[in-house]
A and B are shown apart, each in its own frame.
Chain A
Amino acid sequence: MTGYLAKRLLWLIPVILIVAGITFILMHNAPGGPWDRDLSSRQVDPTAQRLLNEFYGLNKPLWRQFTAYMVGDTNTRTGKWVCGLVCGNMGPSYRIRGMSVQQYLFNPPPNRSFLYSKFGYSIRLALLALAFAILIGLPMGVISALKQNTWIDYINLFIATVGISVPNFVIAIFLIIIFASTLHWVSIVPLSWDEFNVWILPSIVLGFGVLARTARLSRATMLEVMRQDYIRTARAKGLVERIVVVRHMIKNAMIPVVTYLGPALAGLITGSFIIETMFGFPGMGRAYVTAISQRDYSMIMGTTLIYAILVAVANLSVDFVYVLLDPRIKLTE
């Protein structure tokens, strides 16, 4: 078990390295650069561009830039060694002056807690969406299974199928048209995210897909568990139906659902960039989209790598949660 865990964790290092390499090459190949400005505004002077490139090391060969980003390099001006990603330094942002990528993403505004950083905002939105998805999706799936082939089941299944197939930004469009453009209950882009009610619409939209998946998954596993011999045994020994359902069915049916939570949360964090952009949400996803359009190389690298690590760790978590929850499963590979 420990050996297996160590092996899988170690394997993450080359995987992340390859992801970083691909992103780095593609990004630098993209037309334009971080010093381009809108045609309407004042352009950066060519001499200044050259100096900036020199200062940030953008005039060096690509592989030198890559190693500088990953491991580190000596600063051309001061001659001091600046450590790279291995020390957790994601480099200076080319667009947000005087800030490094990690400061921009993880540091909250003055006098606020970590939850008010870009990353914190995204985590909060994802957790809220996950809570919404589980609190609604789980009962939906369980009730569907208990009342299989009734109208309740069919309605739940239909909602779940819609949620799985229709992408969340299209659902967002429908909800925005209904609640913002027509009913005027909420504004599309709120001025402040300090009040709770502005969080409701984005988190429902974001969590809808996970809700649908949770409902389908819990329904499927419930139906499988209901046919097991130990359920018949539980009934045969005279247990009250409520206890059979709660203690024997739901408890066993939850195992696949719980293992799915890790990837679901990672999916919510990485998949939120469109929703964040639509609602003007001050999170990491919107920072990523902005960075792409501004060719802020280090910011793109930073956010992509954070996303990749999150996804990889979440996928890894599935196996281990399984082993922890289900004593019948043993890991051997």
Chain B
Amino acid sequence: MAEQATLEQKAPVADLNEVVTPHRDLMMDAWYRLTKNKGAVAGMIVIAAFILVAIFADKLSPHNPLQLNSGKDFLPPAFVEKGPNGKAGDSSFLFGTDTLGRDVFSRTIYGARVSMVVGIIPTAIIILIGTLVGLYSGYKGGWIDNLLMRFTDVVYAFPDLLFFIIVMISLRDTPIGTMLNGLFLLFLALAIVNWVGVARIVRGQVLSLREKEFVEAARSIGAKDSRIMFKHILPNSLSPIIITAATTVPGMIITEAILGYLGLGLIPSTNPQDFFLTSWGALLLDGQTAINGQPWALLFPAICVSLVVLAFTFVGDGLRDALDPRLQGTQ
């Protein structure tokens, strides 16, 4: 009888709660805060636009990016009446043409493919490896933990760009080096260096979480280590992992651009069937040779690199504010 009475009393209270605050979980809450952040929304729109451009590059580009338009080389952008070399812009070549008469606009569109892929795939690999190793070494400690810390010391002492340069030069002519026009090797080099940072962050999270009461509670009812790691600790360290992922992406894109600019990134393709034809870094390298005569060949890829990287940074900042509201506006 007593039980029934309490149930009846509680029912309306529960109803009231449901009306006042609809149920929202942590991630939906964060998403809501993210959509309120103007910079992050603008960033997401820019990224989405560039992803679409990358996917539909072959449909969107007005010219074949490899086509050498004879007699139409060195054209300034379409809106320029008279370029520094005396030639007038051609309306079919929006961003002008390069030294060989290739359409800069089409080449820039194709360059988006490499940057998007380089931004996303290595980051996914890095997060996966870093999270697994960080979880294990933080929870179990022991020799894996020791090895991780020592490996970190080496990676932190090796200036990473110098490492990428040496790796790219050394292995470029091997079978691994030519896979995916050299992108596979680039992914590999980026992943080897960068997973360590993620592992360190996850490890730090795990070290503090494994002493918490809920982990002790799980352990006391006999949960296995793997269950504690993946069901209890991992979901609670998701926020820093997501933030790290978002802040890693621009670094990857920049590294590819730098290596491309040094002539060590994507191996430029001459086969129009290839998916990756050129990258923004390679375009910057092409443009550099004629920076005084035709700055536009350099200007548009440079603007694209800046836009994409800025967009990812804004989204990353927005994610940090959304997932960890205590930090709002302090970083």
A residues in contact (CB < 8 Å) with B:
11-12, 15-16, 18-19, 22-23, 26-27, 29-31, 148-149, 161-162, 164-167, 169-170, 173-174, 176-177, 180-182, 188, 216, 220, 223-224, 270-271, 273-274, 278, 288-289, 292, 300, 304, 307-308, 311-312, 315
Contact = CB atoms under 8 A, between A and B. Distances in A.
Nearest to B308: A165
A3 to B, nearest CB: 18
Nearest to B254: A167
A164 B251 CA distance: 10
Contact of A29 (B158, B170, B302, B305): B170
Contacts of B279: none
B67 interface: no
B112 interface: no
Nearest to B169: A30
Contacts of A273: 161
B21 interface: no
Contacts, number: 117
A121 to B, nearest CB: 18
A155 B250 CA distance: 22
Contacts of A30: 166, 169-170
Given A16-B157, A223-B330, A166 B162 contact: no
Interface in B149-171: 153-154, 156-159, 161-163, 165-167, 169-171
Interface stretch (B44-52, B270-278, B312-320): B312-320
A188 B157 CA distance: 33
B330 A18 contact: no
B157 A177 contact: no
B309 A167 contact: yes
29 contacts: A22-B158, A26-B166, A26-B169, A26-B170, A30-B169, A30-B170, A148-B329, A161-B314, A162-B306, A165-B306, A165-B310, A166-B309, A167-B257, A169-B258, A169-B284, A173-B284, A177-B291, A177-B295, A177-B298, A181-B291, A188-B292, A216-B331, A270-B159, A270-B161, A300-B166, A304-B159, A304-B162, A308-B158, A312-B156
Contact of B154 (A15, A170, A182, A270): A15
Given A176-B291, A188-B292, 17 more contacts: A26-B166, A161-B313, A162-B310, A165-B250, A165-B312, A166-B305, A167-B254, A167-B309, A177-B299, A181-B291, A181-B292, A182-B295, A223-B329, A223-B330, A304-B159, A308-B158, A308-B159
A220 B158 contact: no
Contact of B302 (A149, A170, A312): A170
B156 A173 contact: no
B266 to A, nearest CB: 17
A257 to B, nearest CB: 14
Given A31-B173, A170-B306, A312 B157 contact: yes
Contact of A173 (B302, B309, B312, B317): B302
A170 B305 contact: yes
B292 A270 contact: no
B162 A270 contact: yes
Given A166-B310, A181-B291, A300-B166, A149 B329 contact: yes
A293 B284 CA distance: 19
Contact of B153 (A11, A164, A173): A11
Contact of B317 (A22, A161, A176, A188): A161
Contacts of A271: 159, 161
A24 to B, nearest CB: 10
Given A149-B329, A307-B162, A315 B170 contact: no
Interface residues of B, number: 42
Contacts of B166: 23, 26-27, 30, 292, 300, 304
Nearest to A288: B162
B154 A29 contact: no
Contacts of B163: 22
Closest 3 CB pairs of A and B: A165-B313, A312-B157, A26-B170
B261 interface: yes
Contacts of A12: 157
Contacts of B100: none
Contact of A307 (B159, B257, B288): B159
A311 B299 CA distance: 33
Contacts of B180: none
Most chain A C-beta atoms within 10 Å of own C-beta, residue among B167, B173, B302: B302
B249 to A, nearest CB: 10
Contact of B159 (A164, A180, A216, A311): A311
A291 to B, nearest CB: 11
A173 B286 CA distance: 13
A216 B313 CA distance: 14
Contacts of B317: 161
A29 B292 CA distance: 38
A223 B163 CA distance: 37
A164 to B, nearest CB: 7
A170 B257 contact: yes
Interface string B252-274: 00100110011000000000000
A37 B85 CA distance: 35
Most chain A C-beta atoms within 10 Å of own C-beta, residue among B250, B284, B306, B317: B306
B84 to A, nearest CB: 8
B291 A224 contact: no
B203 to A, nearest CB: 15
A166 B306 contact: yes
